Amino acid sequence: MLNFLNEWYLWIKMVHYLAFVSWMAGMFYLPRLFVYHTEHKDNKGFVEVVKIQEKKLYFYIQTPAMVVTVITGILMIVANVDLLKIGGYMHVKLTCALLLVFYHFQNYYYYKQLQNNNYQKSGKFFRAYNEVPTILFIIIAIMMIIKPF
């Protein structure tokens, strides 16, 4: 299997990048939908449309993209274990990736609250919350391109 992974490594890496970009798009946009949801809670028709968008984004784009990102990431590490030995930047990247996975499931928690009209968070909270994946994305990009350590 290791030979197979090595032969297909660049393709796996490409799929990893594509899935990561798709996952991040969902991570950037879903909390923005939460902002719209909370700030327009009195407009029932609007909220119903936003609920549909939240559901489709989380279940049909964001979650499958996360799964593919994680699987391809694991495959790349299995194919090249030395990635874990070459520098601290990879450990920072993996820590940020784990935080993104946590954030992804935290999105589900807020999604369920909003779907059930049982939420306490404000639009202002979700505006700040929306910055978390941006910060993690910047750190990951720096680690993978600049490789500072």
Instruction: Map tokens 């909370």 to a residue.
Output: 38
Would you call 116 helix, strand, or coil by DSSP? coil
Q: Would you state the pLDDT for residue 144?
A: 93
Which pLDDT value is given to residue 4?
77
* Residue numbers in the chain where pLDDT is lower than 50: none
pLDDT digits (tens, 9 = 90+) for 90-103: 999 999 999 999 99
Q: Is the pTM of this model over 0.75?
A: yes
